[in-house]
C-alpha cells in the first residue's frame, strides 16, 4: 500500500478488509448449492450400495463414500456416481470393476474391461469379445447383454455422462428394483442404450 500511496500522492486509500468469524466449514456450506431433496441423497447412497454389493465390503464402502462426497460437493447424482466410480487414480479397481464406461469407439477398452466386469459380477464363465467391423458400440453392448442373459444377468445402461456408454451387470431378478432405485436417485437406467 505504501508504494501505491506514494504513486498517487496520498490520494489512494482503501478500507481494511472485513474480518469474519465464520468457520471454514460454514464458508464452504455457503459456497455449495443447497440440496432441496434429502430423499434423493439417501436414494443415491442406496443405489450405490446396491451396485457394489458384489465386491468386497471394504472396497464397496470406499466407493460409496467417494460417490457421496462428490454429491456433497455439488455434483448432480449421475456425475457423482460416474466421478466416484470412474476417477482413474482413486476410483474402482480393475479386479472389482462395477461400472463400465466406454466411448463410442472404445472397442479396445470394452475388450479389456468386459472380462473383469463379468468376473467381478460373480460369473465363472469367461467372456471373450470378438470384434466385428460393422458393429457399433450399442450393438456390441446389446450382444453382451444377450450373452449375460444366458446366465441370469443383464447389462443395465446408465445415463451418467453425455459422451460415454456406462453400465453395470445386475441379476435378472433384481433388475426392476435396481431401475427403480436409479430413478429415485435421479439416474436414468434402461436395458436400451442412451
pLDDT for position 4 = 64
Whole-number Å distance between alpha carbons of 31 and 72: 12
Whether residue 111 is predicted with pLDDT greater than 60 in this model: the reply is yes
A 10 A CB-CB count for 24 gives 7
Every domain of the chain and the residues it spans: 39-190
Any idea of the CA torsion for 143, 147, 149, 150, to the nearest 10 degrees?
150
Looking at per-residue pLDDT, the higher value among 173 and 15 belongs to 173
b/e per residue, 47-75, with b = 16+ CB within 10 A?
bbebbbebbeeeebebbbebbbebbeeeb
Q: Specify which residues 16 forms β-bridges with.
A: none
Average pLDDT over residues 88-93: 84
Average pLDDT over residues 156-162: 88
Predicted TM-score of the model (pTM): 0.79
Amino acid at each position: 500500500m505504501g508504494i501505491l500511496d506514494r504513486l498517487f500522492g496520498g490520494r489512494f486509500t482503501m478500507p481494511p478488509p472485513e474480518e469474519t468469524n465464520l468457520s471454514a466449514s460454514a464458508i464452504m456450506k455457503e459456497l455449495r448449492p443447497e440440496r432441496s431433496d434429502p430423499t434423493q441423497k439417501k436414494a443415491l447412497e442406496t443405489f450405490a450400495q446396491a451396485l457394489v454389493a458384489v465386491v468386497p465390503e471394504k472396497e464397496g464402502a470406499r466407493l460409496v463414500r467417494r460417490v457421496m462426497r462428490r454429491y456433497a460437493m455439488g455434483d448432480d447424482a449421475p456425475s457423482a456416481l460416474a466421478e466416484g466410480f470412474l476417477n482413474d487414480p482413486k476410483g474402482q479397481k480393475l479386479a472389482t470393476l462395477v461400472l463400465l464406461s466406454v466411448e463410442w469407439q472404445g472397442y479396445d477398452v470394452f475388450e479389456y474391461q468386459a472380462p473383469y466386469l463379468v468376473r467381478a459380477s460373480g460369473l465363472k464363465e469367461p467372456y471373450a469379445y470378438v470384434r466385428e467391423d460393422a458393429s457399433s458400440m450399442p450393438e456390441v453392448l446389446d450382444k453382451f447383454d444377450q450373452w449375460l442373459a444366458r446366465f441370469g444377468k443383464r447389462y443395465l445402461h446408465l445415463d451418467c455422462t453425455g459422451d460415454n456408454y456406462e453400465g453395470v451387470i445386475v441379476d435378472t431378478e433384481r433388475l426392476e428394483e435396481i431401475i427403480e432405485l436409479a430413478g429415485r436417485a435421479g439416474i436414468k437406467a434402461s436395458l436400451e442404450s442412451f
